[in-house]
Amino acid sequence: MNTRIEQPGSEAARGADVLVRRALRLRPGDRVDVLHHDSAVVEGLVRAAAARAGVQVEVHDLGPLVHETSAVRLRSTLRGLLQGATASVLLARGGLPQEVSVAVVRAAGELRTRHVHMPNVDPRALGSSVRADPDTLGAINARLVDRLGAGATVHVTSDAGTDLTVKLGPPYPLVADHGCPEPGKWDNLPAGFVYAHPLDVHGTLVADRIAHGSTASRLGPSLRRKPLRVTFEGSRVVAATSDDDELLVAFEAYRASHVHAPRVGFVSIPTNPLARLEIGNLAHDGLLPGMRVFLGFSDSEATLAPFDLDHGFRLTGRGQTVRVGEEVVVESGRLTPALLQD
């Protein structure tokens, strides 16, 4: 085991401190319940951070619940585990079955705990983008929301060939995420982005950073060498090409999975200033600056999208430049100083 990442002064330990003190806003005497699956190192870091903050900890291994087939029993078990907790956090080195994730969120909501979801978490993400202070993220989000206003046209380009136009506006609100949930609510970490269901998306997105969904997952060098090129008209995928035949077949299978699968559920612009370099972690790399396009899943409760799926596909590209009207907010994969400073 790498003991360096467990030392209180390390970057990963600092990320655990931000989770406990800033994201969950825990105080001495509070209780945090840690639900984990195959994430012993991160669980240890969070437990140590809670101890430094004088917070009680209860740890629950989700392993026995991953294969629970009864949604009623699953939810009842989770409610019993979380009873009396001030806050809770889910840690998983990989993803979790959708039904387990949903059951955790709903149980925490019913019990009015603050809940943070951290799938695909590892010490690298904990020591980088997770360290972003929620108040800082909130301030950057506010600047971006101000620029997007009540409606905006966003143009996204890249040297790889992305040329995408996104129109935003009523009746679909801008939603800002800064990683600090209210009691009875939940959020993901790492955080920091503004998102919305779009009025229209058209053009081409070259997904050479992340192409991840219910049928396939690609990120890193393999996707850079063989990206997925997706063309949109009327906020729907109308064509896709790639030299990665397996990825293309999987993406087409996703498109055919539901009438709404090819529709854009929401788009988002990440705002986390500590997400600077790719580290091979899905949650972290998805927050590198640019425009993310999510198909299928729309988070309709927040975005007011007219449809929603319980599965989806996310697409992101490298080195993008994002313009809101005439103003550049992301230049060649970097947030502009105007967004980062008052």
Q: What is the pLDDT of residues 164-209, one digit of tens each?
A: 999 999 999 999 999 999 999 999 999 999 999 999 999 999 999 9
Residues 227 and 243 grouped into a single domain: yes
Does residue 280 share a domain with residue 156?
A: yes
Given a contact cutoff of 8 angstroms between Cβ atoms, the answer to whether 294 and 300 are in contact is no
**53 pLDDT above the threshold of 90:** yes
Residue 8 has pLDDT above 70, yes or no: no
- Is 288 in the same domain as 260? yes
Q: Which of 83, 99, 127 is the last residue of a domain?
A: 127
pLDDT of 15-32, one tens digit each? 999 999 999 999 999 999
Domain end position, chosen among 111, 127, 143: 127
State how beta strands 186-188 and 114-119 pair.
parallel
What is the 8-class DSSP label of residue 187? E
Range of weakest confidence among 2-6, 196-200, 273-277? 2-6
pLDDT at position 341, please?
84
Q: Which residue has the higher pLDDT, 151 or 4?
A: 151
119 and 194: one domain? no
Q: DSSP secondary structure string, 228-260?
A: EEEEEETTEEEEEE-S-HHHHHHHHHHHTT-TT
Report if pTM > 0.85. Answer: yes
The mean pLDDT of the chain is 92
Judge contact between 35 and 60, C-beta under 8 A: yes
Claim to verify: residue 142 and residue 104 sit in the same structural domain: no
> What CATH number is given to the structural domain containing 8?
3.40.640.10
| 305 shares a domain with 223 | yes
| The pLDDT of residue 228 | 98
> Do 123 and 251 share a structural domain?
no
Which is more confidently placed, 160 or 10?
160
* Same structural domain, 79 and 101: yes
Do 122 and 25 lie in a common domain? yes
Q: Is the pLDDT of residue 3 over 60?
A: no
Out of 127, 144, 173, a domain closes at: 127
Residues 120 and 160 in one domain: no
Q: Are 206 and 157 in contact (CB under 8 A)?
A: no
> Is the peptide bond between 190 and the residue preceding it cis, with omega within 30 degrees of 0?
yes
Report residue 111: phi and psi, to 5°: -90, 0
237 Cβ partners below 8 Å, 6+ apart? Answer: 230, 231, 255, 262, 295
Q: Are residues 200 and 60 in the same domain?
A: no
Using a pLDDT cut of 70, give the percent of the chain over it.
97
Tell me: pLDDT of 2 over 90.
Answer: no
Read off the tokens for 73. 């029993």
Residue with tokens 């100083």: 337
Band of pLDDT at residue 93, cut at 50, 70 and 90 = confident
Q: What is the pLDDT of residue 342?
A: 57
Expressed as residue numbers, the domain containing 88 is 3-127
Beta-carbon contacts of 215 under 8 Å, excluding residues fewer than 6 positions away, are 250, 251, 253, 254, 257, 313
Split into its structural domains, the chain has a count of 2
**Same domain, yes or no: 109 and 136:** no
